[in-house]
Amino acid sequence: MNFLRTFSLTALIFFFSLLNFSGISFLGVKPNYALAAIIAVLFFTDDILESIFLIAVSAAVLKFSPAAGKDILIYSVICIAAVFIKKYLPWRNFVDNLILISFSTILFYVFLFFREINSVIFLKEIVYNIVVGSLVFLILSKVKFFSVPKVKFFKK
């Protein structure tokens, strides 16, 4: 685990988690910046503890209180599941990132906003999350410092 790289990823996650509190929305829909960014960043970590640390930082920024609410617990579980699921996705990392962001957004809505799944807002948020996650992924992939690890967590 490279300290400078971990610090940089932590700062990025911190920024996108704070961005969730901004009023920035597109066509009346606010993307889940934290979810999209953490999923994209997970593809640039090769250590489970580093991934869990980044998820914990994001969750702490999103809900800074002594007791975590249902939304933060679901968010954390979805992100931790993504750490392990990404290993089994068969496509290239960029496509895996898109699939995992879509799947995570769907799960987030299934558990927290089930009645809104059939709305246009739900579809727009999936698209916006994919755009945000793709931008984060592309920016990180262009910086050699954040190269995508070639080693997976476990050997098959």
Question: 47-78, pLDDT tens digit by residue?
Answer: 899 999 999 999 989 886 666 688 888 999 99
Contacts with 155 (C-beta within 8 Å, 6 or more apart), sequence order: none
pLDDT at residue number 66: 65
pLDDT-flagged residues of the chain (< 50): 151-156
Rg (CA), the chain: 15
pLDDT at residue number 156: 43
Q: Where do the domains of the chain lie, and which CATH numbers do they carry? A: 3-146 (1.10.1760)
Three-state helix/strand/coil letters over 8-29: HHHHHHHHHHHHCCCCCCECCE
pLDDT at residue number 119: 82
- Give, for 129, the enclosing helix (H) or strand (E): helix 120-142
Structure-block tokens of residue 150 = 């070639």
pLDDT at residue number 67: 63
Cβ–Cβ < 8 Å for 79, 58: yes
pLDDT at residue number 65: 61
pLDDT at residue number 151: 40
Structure-block tokens of residue 70 = 């249902």
pLDDT at residue number 13: 94
Measured CA angle at 132 (ends 126, 135), to 5 deg: 135
